[in-house]
């Protein structure tokens, strides 16, 4: 048994409070526990639920599309340093062979049950079922029409662990795929799309629940056609992802999104690529050369190619620049994505009986300690 004594803890439903926190693999008590191993924390530390990143491609020089155990291990260990305890290994538009190899690697990694690093909670299949005109940094030659058959092949390769599928709802076959995903308990996410508002409404009626990296690679808001961006702001049913790095989305746009979305419908993601955690320089995404400078990752033509954002910095930006209270910002990276993935009964908040998943931050939002299932996976 371990304990944080007299720590500032974000207890779900109660807010920030000074308390003891006793745990093994799960949270056991908020009382004093004689004989428990005390983990001493800095005076300015705050104990938060561990972060969940449902959209991340890579970190530490590796990418989920590398299709190796070593790559997933590196990503898992790297994101633990930013307070993340679980993530969806996110694929991208590529050849069927490369996507399949990446999915098989995730299956094998999950079957190992590795305790170190952040947990690979499953897969976010971002592409290939997207609109060519809104491909962003995804290679055009591998864009494909939505297909139930192809999706089922991919899901089987992953060990049936695909949790989210990004797709363009206006494309032929999208409605059938959305309905199929809903039957399987998988979240359809509207992204890389030129959909009009009517397309979005049809997708919601079919079961679409999410918007992928809101504002980016999707039809913009116009006063005569509000597109995906306007629909994301308007439709309460949609859980909107946000890359809160002030690069992909401006601060005023982030404020607008936060103002428009009901509680529980805004999810922080990093959408990070392999250069996260490395120095500026030349990197790679989907076989394309990426140039990283000053926190921005771009293709040669200037297209944004994912981010190098860390989740603890996303929290900092939400609080310090968007003006969101700390606990609400934290919810967007913990309990909200946990609910969207159907794992909130086990993780995503600090409550009795839940997994002991913690991100301990200091006053500068730097990570002091990351704990997953009671096991320290990062210590500063």
Q: What torsion do the CA atoms of 274, 276, 280, 281 make, to the nearest 10 degrees?
A: 0
Distance, in Å, from the CA atom of 87 to the CA atom of 56, rounded to the nearest integer, reads: 7
Q: Is 271 a catalytic residue?
A: yes
Give 182-185 contacts, CB < 8 A, sequence gap 24+. 182/206, 182/207, 184/155, 185/342
Count other C-beta atoms under 10 Å from residue 6's C-beta. 12
Marked catalytic residue, from 239, 271, 344, 357: 271
Separation between Cα atoms, residue 380 and residue 377, nearest integer Å: 10
Cβ atoms within 10 Å of 52's Cβ, excluding its own: 30
299: exposed, middle or buried (C-beta count within 10 Å: 0-12, 13-18, 19+)?
A: middle
Say how many Å lie between the first and final Cα of the chain, rounded. 21
Contacts of 141 (CB under 8 A, 6+ apart): none
Query: Are 74 and 66 contacting, i.e. CB atoms less than 8 angstroms apart?
Result: no
Q: Are 214 and 239 in contact (CB under 8 A)?
A: no
Residues forming the active site: 271
């Amino acid at each position: 048994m371990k304990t944080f004594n007299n720590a500032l803890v974000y207890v779900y439903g109660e807010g920030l409070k000074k308390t003891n926190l006793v745990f093994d693999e799960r949270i056991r008590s908020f009382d004093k526990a004689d004989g428990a191993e005390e983990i001493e924390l800095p005076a300015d530390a705050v104990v938060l639920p561990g972060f969940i990143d449902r959209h991340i491609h890579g970190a530490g020089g590796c990418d989920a599309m590398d299709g190796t155990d070593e790559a997933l291990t590196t990503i898992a260990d790297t994101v633990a340093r930013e307070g993340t305890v679980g993530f969806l290994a996110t694929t991208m538009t590529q050849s069927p062979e490369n996507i399949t190899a990446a999915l098989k690697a995730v299956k094998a990694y999950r079957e190992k049950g590795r305790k170190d690093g952040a947990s690979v909670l499953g897969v976010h299949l971002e592409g290939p079922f997207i609109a060519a005109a809104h491909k962003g940094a995804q290679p055009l030659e591998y864009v494909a029409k939505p297909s139930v058959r192809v999706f089922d092949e991919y899901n089987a390769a992953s060990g049936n662990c695909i949790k989210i599928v990004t797709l363009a709802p206006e494309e032929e076959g999208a409605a059938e795929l959305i309905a199929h995903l809903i039957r399987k308990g998988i979240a359809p996410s509207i992204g890389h799309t030129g959909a009009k508002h009517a397309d979005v409404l049809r997708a919601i009626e079919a079961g679409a629940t999410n918007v992928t990296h809101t504002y980016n690679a999707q039809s913009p808001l116009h006063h005569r056609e509000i597109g995906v961006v306007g629909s994301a702001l308007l439709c309460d049913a949609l859980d909107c992802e946000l890359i809160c790095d002030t690069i992909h989305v401006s601060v005023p746009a982030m404020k607008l999104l936060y103002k428009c979305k009901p509680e529980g419908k805004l999810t922080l993601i990093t959408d990070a690529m392999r250069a996260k955690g490395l120095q500026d320089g030349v990197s790679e995404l989907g076989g394309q050369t990426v140039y990283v400078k000053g926190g921005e990752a771009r293709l040669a033509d200037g297209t944004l190619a994912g981010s190098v954002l860390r989740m603890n910095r996303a929290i900092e930006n939400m609080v310090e620049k968007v003006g969101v209270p700390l606990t609400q910002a934290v919810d967007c990276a913990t309990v909200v994505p946990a609910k969207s993935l159907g794992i909130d009964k086990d993780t995503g908040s600090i409550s009795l009986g839940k997994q002991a998943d913690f991100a301990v931050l200091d006053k500068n939002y730097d990570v002091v300690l990351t704990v997953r299932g009671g096991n320290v996976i990062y210590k500063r």
